[in-house]
Amino acid sequence: MCAKPTRLIVRPSMESAALKLLGSGPCPDGETNEWTGTADLIVMPYLAASR
């Protein structure tokens, strides 16, 4: 069985980092971002209250 994740679920404070990870912009070192478009971003506010 080979499962391929299609969603990245994050708390609100991690949204910016997740957008950078999944975005199409170039990496700071000029390399191609291999994670571009590989998952849908889902921001879950209730994760912020979890510990």
User: Could you give the CA distance from residue 1 to residue 33 in angstroms, rounded to a whole number?
Assistant: 27
The number of distinct structural domains making up the chain is 1
**pLDDT value of position 51:** 60
Q: Mean pLDDT throughout 8-26?
A: 90
Percent of the chain with pLDDT over 90: 45
Domain of residue 40: give its range.
Answer: 7-48
3-state helix, strand, coil in the chain (%, to 5): 30, 15, 55
- Whether 36 is covered by a domain: the verdict is yes
- Whether 38 is covered by a domain: the verdict is yes
Higher pLDDT, 50 or 42: 42
pTM as predicted: 0.75
- Whether 2 is covered by a domain: the verdict is no
**pLDDT value of position 34:** 85
Q: Mean pLDDT throughout 5-14?
A: 94
